[in-house]
Homo-oligomer: A and B are copies of this chain.
Amino acid sequence: MAEYRTFTTDDAMRFADEHSGLFGDHSKLSCEEFGDGNLNLVFRVSNDKGTSLIVKQALPYARCVGESWPLTIDRARIEAEVLLKHRKLCPDHTVEVLHYDAEQAAILMEDLKDYRILRTELISGKQFAHLAPQLASYLAQTLYFTSDFALTGPNKKQQVGRFLNPELCLITEDLFFTDPYCNHERNNIHTAINSDAQQLWHDEALQAEVAQLKADFLSKPQALLHGDVHSGSIFINDENCKLIDAEFGFYGPIGFDVGSLVGNLLLNYLGHFGLTADDDTRQQHQDYLQQQISLLWQQFSQQFKQLMETECREPSLQNSRYQQHFLQQIFADALGYAGCELIRRTVGLAHVADLDSISDSDLRAKSERKALQLGRELIIQRRELSNIDQVLTLLRHLK
């Protein structure tokens, strides 16, 4: 193939067949496009024996906005390279990339057809005991081994240069940190909470802390982040879970990936006030989420601590006081970014079904107000909150 062109289903089939031996000779292939994302075409290519693969092609514009928002297709390279690197570091929980084609901005990868999207599962009240331990492990492995603890200065700088990802970072810079705190036309605000949203636009104490978090997002390249760890980027089943969609990957603050995930678990917790009418059922699911959030931080921090103790290749950073301080900083950052995620998913452009699918407008508004309140508290108090239990206490005492 030569110059870039948008794939038809035939192109996708040919691409999958050419770059994988999985389908065998003379297989009958079929193909459907089923992307529901905003930036890409996603095809499933299957043969008549039940084997299937995914072809993901980057569009040269953001699909949700249309061709007026051009986006470089170099993001397919970023996605492929981040996934390949993360898979090397954590093979169990990263989707497998089989082939990447730079010209066509297309990635051939395994089809997680035995998995479902975590967000949908959590909304339906499903529980997975392995969620927190597996994601803690994914985060600890991928973030530790791409950080200054594991790489030499020159090697790290080379990696930073490969993953600058200016265009997709800009989307986050705008949607995550800017829009929700001003009267921006991109915002999407449920009418019932209009006045609550407006309070954000005049809250200078909050804005000062969000400015700090944004400045760190811009200038704290601690590790190669996934960059978009929300519950729509996680595929799960009863045994395992895997991360997909790494096109927002870049070198940024470690707390951003951790906090994005925590924020999404909190959004589900708050959503269930409106999603689940039965008190016992709701309580039981919310208890599960609390336990997972607690486990996630405990296991992530424990693994990261152990890696710092045993796998630190940079002599100056082998100091245990410094390492303790570093972990406490990740915790504060993570709470701050979790708070931002709560707020931007409530009033910003890109919402989540955990809140939006609450059919009763009053109940939805109640959950949304809790999200704004908790988001603010996490951001403002992030340096004073010293352990995850204090965060859960805050969560249980929301009005």
Give A68 to B319 CA distance when docked, in angstroms: 31
Give the dominant DSSP class at A's interface: helix
Across-interface contacts of A316 in B (CB, < 8 A): 177-178, 181, 207, 210-211, 214
What is the CA–CA distance of A221 and B181 in the complex, to the nearest angstrom?
A: 25
Task: Report if A317-B221 is in contact (Cβ < 8 Å); known contacts: A153-B170, A164-B160.
Answer: no
Instruction: Given A153-B173, A315-B178, A316-B181, check contact A322 B208 (CB 8 Å).
Output: yes
Q: How far is the CB of A154 from chain B (nearest CB, A)?
A: 4
> Which residues of chain B are near A181, meaning CB under 8 Å?
316
Q: Note all chain B residues with C-beta closer than 8 A to A222.
A: 219
For A167, the closest partner residue in chain B by CB is B154
Contact yes or no, B153 A322, CB < 8 A: no
Set of chain B residues within 8 Å of A320, measured between Cβ atoms: 204
Residue among A177, A182, A315 facing the most chain B CB atoms (10 A cut-off):
A315
A157 in the interface (beta carbon within 8 A) = yes
Contact partner of A160 (CB less than 8 A), chosen from B160, B317, B325, is: B160
Chain B proximity of A255: nearest CB distance (Å):
13
A66 at the interface (CB under 8 A from B): no
| A326 CB, nearest partner CB in chain B, Å | 7
A-side interface residues, number (CB < 8 Å): 44
Within 8 A of B (CB), among A192-213: 204-205, 207-212
Q: Does A156 contact B (CB under 8 A)?
A: yes
Cβ contact of A207, chosen from B152, B153, B319, B326, cutoff 8 A: B319
* Interface contact B211-A317, CB-CB below 8 Å: yes
Name the residue in A164, A209, A215, A325 with the highest tally of chain B Cβ atoms < 10 Å from its Cβ.
A215
Mark interface residues in A271-285 (1 if CB within 8 Å of B CB, else 0). Answer: 000000000000000
**How far, in Å, is A155 (CB) from chain B's closest CB?**
8
Q: With A and B bound together, what is the CA distance between A322 and B211 in angstroms?
A: 7
Contact A214-B157, Cβ < 8 Å, known A219-B220, A219-B222: no
Q: Chain B contacts of A148 at CB under 8 A?
A: 215, 218-219
In contact, B164 and A218 (Cβ under 8 angstroms): no
- With A153-B166, A204-B319, A322-B208 given, is the CB distance from A219 to B218 under 8 Å? no
Report whether A161 and B158 are in contact in the complex, using a CB–CB cutoff of 8 Å: no
Known: A219-B220, A322-B208. A164 touches B170 (CB 8 A): no
Cβ contact within 8 Å between B170 and A317: no
| 20 A-B contact pairs sorted by A residue (CB < 8 Å) | A148-B218, A153-B173, A154-B169, A157-B164, A157-B166, A177-B316, A178-B316, A181-B316, A207-B316, A208-B319, A208-B321, A208-B322, A211-B319, A214-B316, A214-B317, A215-B317, A215-B326, A219-B220, A219-B221, A220-B220
